[in-house]
Amino acid sequence: MSFEGRENRVLKDALLEEKQLSGILRWAVEGCREYLEHGLEYPDEVLEATAAYKSESDKVEQFLAECCVRGDGFSARARPLYLEFCKWAEGTSGMSETAFGCRMVEKGFAKQHTDRGNIYLGLAPLRLENWRPPEANS
């Protein structure tokens, strides 16, 4: 919508009148206080769209959903799981092994150091060569 040709050419002068200035300042201070107290509140539509975008962009989460099973008693060796992720992502992610490990921990998977290398607890890859039976977790 264009306001061209419908501008209020006396608005600036009207707002600069002394009786208006205190109200404008009060309105600005109230807005500042509300912002500092509550921050910005985003509409639900924006929050939902942002969550959907993040989910669609989260390669690690997509990999876990498509290629792993989650549950107590499961574990997966860290390096083979990362290599499986790289194969699955077909080189599109460019994610280092360290970054992958950080994302796994952010997603709530505990990392355990063993004499055979690191493992993640709480998941197992669907491809059996990277799976460890629950009794071997200790």
The domains found in the chain, sorted by start residue, are 58-136 (1.10.10.10)
pLDDT at 133: 56
Q: How far apart, in Å, are the Cα atoms of 56 and each of 19, 42, 74, 99? A: 53, 20, 26, 18
Contact criterion met (CB below 8 Å) for 100 and 91: no
Question: Could you give the 3-state DSSP secondary structure of residue 51?
Answer: helix
Chunked mean pLDDT (size 10), the chain, 138 residues: 83 89 94 93 92 86 93 93 91 83 95 94 78 52
Q: What is the predicted pLDDT for the residue at 92?
A: 65
pLDDT number for residue 132: 55
Q: Sign of torsion, CA 96 131 122 64? A: positive
CA distance 124 to 138: 15
Q: Please report the pLDDT score of residue 72 as a whole number.
A: 92
Give the burial class of 75: count Cβ atoms within 10 A of its Cβ; 0-12 exposed, 13-18 middle, 19 or more buried.
buried
Backbone angles phi, psi at 43, to 5 degrees: -60, 150
Are 97 and 84 in contact by the 8 Å Cβ rule? The answer is no
Question: CA angle at residue 32 from 28 to 35, to 5 degrees?
Answer: 140
Q: Please give the pLDDT value at position 91.
A: 65
CA atoms within 13 A on the CB side of 78: 22
